[in-house]
Amino acid sequence: MKITIPNAARPWVAVVAVALLAAPVSAQPKPDLNDATEKAMKAASAKVAPAIVKIETAGGAETTLVAPKKGGPPGPPAAGIRKGVGPTTGLVVSADGYIISSAFNFSNKPTDIFVTIPGRPQRLVAKIVANDQTRMLTLLKIDAKDLTVPDVFPKKDVEVGQWGLTLGRTLDNNVDHPPSMSVGIVSATNRIWGKAIQTDAKTSPVNYGGALVSIDGRVYGVVVPASNRAEGETAGVDVYDGGIGFAVPLEDVLATLPRLKEGKDLRRGLLGVSPQGTDVYNAVPVIGAIQPDSAAARAGLQVGDKITEINGKKVPNYSTLQHIMGPMYESDELALKVLRGDKEMEFKSVKLLGTTTAYVAAYFGILPMRDDASPGVEVRFVYPKSPADVAGIKAGDRIMKFGPAALPAPPPVANRAAFIAAIQRLAPGAEVKVEVKRKDGGKVETVQAKLVPVPDEIPEKLPPATGKKEEPKKEEPKPPLNVRADLGGQEEKKDDKKEKPKLETGYMTRTDEALGREYWVYVPDNYDPKVSHGLIVWFHQAGQGGKDGERMAKTFEDFAADNHFIIMGPKASAETGWKANETEVVVRDVKTVIGQYTIDRTRVIAHGQANGGEMAFYVGFNARDVFRGVCTVGAILGNPPKDNIANQPLAFFISGGDKDPLIKDIVESKNLLMEKRFPVIFREMKESGKEYFDVKTFNDFLNWADSLDRI
């Protein structure tokens, strides 16, 4: 058979032919690739090993990740992992005795720290010099000289797919032996808002503070737990066995070393803005809220400004802004360009702050009527002695216009959502002008009021919350938003001709089709899709596996029917309990229910007891686009609370029994939240241990839940 070779292929054939003719008659043995790789890895480890030190601590609190008291419930992020217990790892960064390590290794605040260096058998006392609070690193100093400093792998040369070896000194008592090694690759760069390299090599408390090393023995970075959703020295520990680990580039560590050596903690640089809306990846970066006395406030940025550029880099979305600013520190300066309306404005030398003044929600003192199709906001209830009460506002009046008193005329109020947004832009102490249409006689009057902080107050009894659902007359055009346009942006699809199928009510067990996880839902029999419903998400105690679903549904049955609430409960594993990395799964189920029923987004509550309450805290803070309230019974905060922000408000109802061993820690959790200026209701139940609510506290909780949309 004759084979025809295309002309285009002939040069390549010729090259192959020459290569074959030049080849020796007897083939040489091929080198063993596995042997060569193994030798290279051992050589890389041996090159860095003198800089990998062993760290031991003594004293401090030997606590679990989130439950500080013996006998307390295991915490949601990583039950069973201990903080700062046992030996850990560090990396030499300066020949004169400076060592960097993960802040996780010292989160128990040890009283004594000892370092052992390869080739030097004597343990040396170490002192903490400073902390990098944004990359969660701790700098130590020992009395030693001529230490081995590893070579740095430049950040610009790091590529996905390169070998990555994680080295640690935890498992072997003899530091002259090779460090422990886990092998993987660099799986991503510029992670955790631009602060970390990602690897699939094993990272865990075994090698936190150790090194991520290249195949040629240069150090990519320092291994740390990290998370793009949480902050603090323990953030990210919960996913240590998930095939994803992180390392702070050593190049960045060395760049900040001079400042750390001065003994000054480095804090994250904050601009002090929050986005408008929750889509940080696709939506344009419009400022939705500005923290008081923040860098943004001092520079003159305003709510509604669209950020277009930072330090010469285009900013198409809020995620890009976070990546640019993630690596920056307090006192760093940046240049901003924004669009304010049609005008481009430039802000040069905006100095970032390490802290911002806590946002304090402003309060007018009314509850609005819900499901109200008419323009303005009908007043459902007026809080006694509130600014609204002092100004003469009465139940049944309708707020038509509202705005700062300095304006010539207050702007119109379209609905409840618009009223809430207007309040969120103001601070306590602001003077406002209110145009009100009186219930009796329809007289229109303009009054003034001075806003105050949200008080610790729950009404004992509330009137019905649902307004008249009048259909618009045929000759009149329909309003641009439907009856429930005040439910947090939900807009009903126009399909008036087709009758929608009646949704199921009662107690139901459901399964997430994609993940196979179960959750339960209770919908009252009087459910009406034209009426907005609150949603309470119950987090059961660990070990119950969600078996208390029917009991909890029965507990809320009357309240749900009378006050239009739906109750649901995700289920945790009976063996492991709640874990922080289940947050996205839980939120997915919650959003499924929100999509099926008419849910009022201002009244979505995470509720739980004991470690279920800890999970409620965690989910509330890490899914703030969904939840507006957190209610806990006998639970403590597992992590420091995040900042209070205007356009994602979060209110708390915290309770505990006076005989609960954790009561002091429950009170401390309340105090931490109040320091961040969150609205907090606290109830200590008398003659109670770890039980659920007593009758009085339960009634207070129900009234609190039904008044979360107060303005």
For residue 63, being part of any structural domain is answered with yes
Do 221 and 298 share a domain, yes or no?
Answer: no
Q: State the pLDDT at residue 288.
A: 80
Instruction: Determine the Cα–Cα distance for residues 395 and 7; give it in Å rounded to an integer.
Output: 91
Specify whether 699 is located in the same domain as 615. Answer: yes
pLDDT mean over 174-178: 91
How many other CB atoms are there within 10 angstroms of residue 78's CB atom? 25
What is d(CA 495, CA 517) in angstroms, rounded to the nearest whole number? 33
User: Which pTM value belongs to this model?
Assistant: 0.66
Predicted local confidence at residue 440, as pLDDT: 87
Residues 324 and 370 in one domain: no
- Candidates 159, 231, 167; CA nearest to 204 is 167
CB 642 within 8 A of CB 613: no
321 and 210, same structural domain?
Answer: no
Rounded Cα gap, residues 272 and 358, in angstroms:
10
DSSP H helical ranges for 329-390: 387-390
Say which DSSP state 11 is in. H
Q: What is the mean pLDDT of the segment spanning 546-554?
A: 86
Who has greater pLDDT, 548 or 432? 432
Q: What average pLDDT does the segment 181-203 reach? A: 93
**Token match 């080739």: residue?**
119
d(CA 431, CA 422): 13
> Using DSSP, how many helices (H) and how many strands (E) does the chain show?
14, 33
pLDDT band at 644 (very low <50, low <70, confident <90, very high): confident
Average pLDDT, the chain: 84
pLDDT at 629 over 50: yes
Q: Give me the CATH number covering residue 527.
A: 3.40.50.1820
Lookup result for tokens 């996913």? 239
Phi, psi of 590 (to 5 degrees): -60, -45
Beta-strand (E) ranges in 616-679? 629-633, 651-657
Is there a single domain that holds both residue 520 and residue 547?
A: yes
On whether the CB atoms of residues 299 and 335 are closer than 8 A, the answer is: no
Question: What is the Cα–Cα distance from 616 to 67, expressed in whole angstroms?
Answer: 14
Cα–Cα separations (whole angstroms), residue 208 to 101, 137, 202: 7, 10, 10
State the pLDDT at residue 289: 77
The answer to whether 222 and 253 have CB atoms below 8 angstroms apart is yes
Task: Report the length, in residues, of the chain.
Answer: 711
Whether residue 463 is contained in a domain is answered as no
Res 200 pLDDT > 70: yes
- CA pair distance 393, 374, nearest whole angstrom: 18
Q: Which residues are within 8 A (CB) of 645 and not within 5 positions of it... i.e. 6 or more apart?
A: 274, 289, 291, 359, 624
Please count the structural domains in the chain.
4
Domain boundary among 351, 379, 399: 351
520 and 589 both lie in a single domain: yes
Confidence at residue 29, expressed as pLDDT on a 0 to 100 scale: 52
Question: If you compute the radius of gyration of the chain from its CA atoms, what whole number of angstroms results?
Answer: 30
Residue 500, pLDDT score:
53
Question: Greater confidence, 432 or 584?
Answer: 432
pLDDT at 143: 95
Read off the pLDDT of residues 353-401 as tens digits, 9 standing for 90 and up. Answer: 987 777 788 999 999 999 988 999 999 999 999 999 999 999 999 999 9
Q: Which two tokens stand for residue 224?
A: 């740390």
Reported as a single tens digit per residue, the pLDDT across 106-116 is 887 888 999 99
Range of the domain at 436: 362-453
Structure tokens at 245: 């680990």
User: Residue 293's domain is classified under what CATH number?
Assistant: 2.30.42.10
Residue 230 scores a pLDDT above 60: no
Residue 514 vs residue 236, higher pLDDT = 514
441: confidence class by pLDDT, cuts 50, 70, 90: confident
Report pLDDT digits (tens) over 61-101.
544 333 333 333 333 333 333 444 578 999 999 999 999 99
pLDDT digits (tens, 9 = 90+) for 612-628: 999 999 999 989 889 99
Which residues, including other chains, have CB under 8 Å from residue 379's CB and lie 6 or more apart? Answer: 366, 367, 368, 369, 388, 393, 394, 395, 396, 397, 398, 399
Residue 477 is predicted with a pLDDT of 38
In a domain, 171, yes or no: yes
The average pLDDT across 642-655 equals 88
Q: Tell whether the model's pLDDT for residue 480 goes beyond 90.
A: no
471 within some domain = no
Confidence bin at 10 (pLDDT 50/70/90): very low
- Judge whether 338 lies within some domain: yes
Higher pLDDT, 118 or 639: 118
Q: Do 610 and 551 share a structural domain?
A: yes
- Least confident among 187-201, 227-241, 281-295, 670-684: 227-241
Residue 184 has pLDDT above 80, yes or no: yes
Q: Which residues contact 659 (CB under 8 A, 6 or more apart)?
A: 687, 688, 689
Label residue 579 by pLDDT band (50, 70, 90): confident
294-352 tens-digit pLDDT: 899 899 998 889 999 999 999 999 889 989 998 999 999 999 999 998 899 999 999 99
Residue 123 pLDDT exceeds 70: yes
Cα(565)–Cα(568) distance, integer angstroms? 10
Reported confidence tier of residue 131, pLDDT bands at 50, 70, 90: very high
The 3-state secondary structure of 484-504, one letter per residue: CCCCCCCCCCCCCCCCCCCCC
Task: Let me know whether 406 and 440 are in one domain.
Answer: yes
CATH number, domain of 64, equals 2.40.10.120
Report, as an integer, the average pLDDT of 589-618: 94
- Residue 171 is predicted with a pLDDT of 79
pLDDT at 273: 86
Residue 412 and residue 382 in one domain: yes
Q: Is the pLDDT of residue 120 over 60?
A: yes
Residue 212 lies in a domain: yes
Q: How far is CA 127 from the centre of its chain?
A: 32
pLDDT of residue 547: 76
Domain boundary among 408, 424, 453: 453
> Does the pLDDT at position 497 exceed 70?
no
Average pLDDT over residues 196-203: 94
Does residue 488 form part of some domain? no
Q: How far is CA 270 from the centre of its chain?
A: 16
Task: Determine the pLDDT at residue 239.
Answer: 57
Q: What is the mean pLDDT of residues 651-677?
A: 94
Q: Strand (E) positions, 218-332?
A: 219-224, 245-249, 273-275, 287-290, 306-310, 313-314
- Single out the residue of 306, 329, 333, 416 nearest to residue 369, CA to CA: 416
| Residue 173 sits in the same domain as residue 278 | no
610 is a domain residue: yes
Contact 65, 237 (CB under 8 A): yes
Band (240; pLDDT cuts 50, 70, 90): low
239 & 278 share domain:
no
Confidence class for position 241, pLDDT limits 50, 70, 90: low
State how far the Cα of 569 lies from the Cα of 567, in Å rounded to an integer.
Answer: 7
Query: What is the reported pLDDT for 646?
Result: 78
Q: What is the number of alpha carbons within 13 Å of residue 458 lying toward its C-beta? A: 21
Q: Of 216, 240, 261, which residue sits at a domain end?
A: 261
Residues 572 and 612 in one domain: yes
Lookup: tokens for 556: 């809320």
Greatest alpha-carbon pair distance for the chain in Å reads: 110
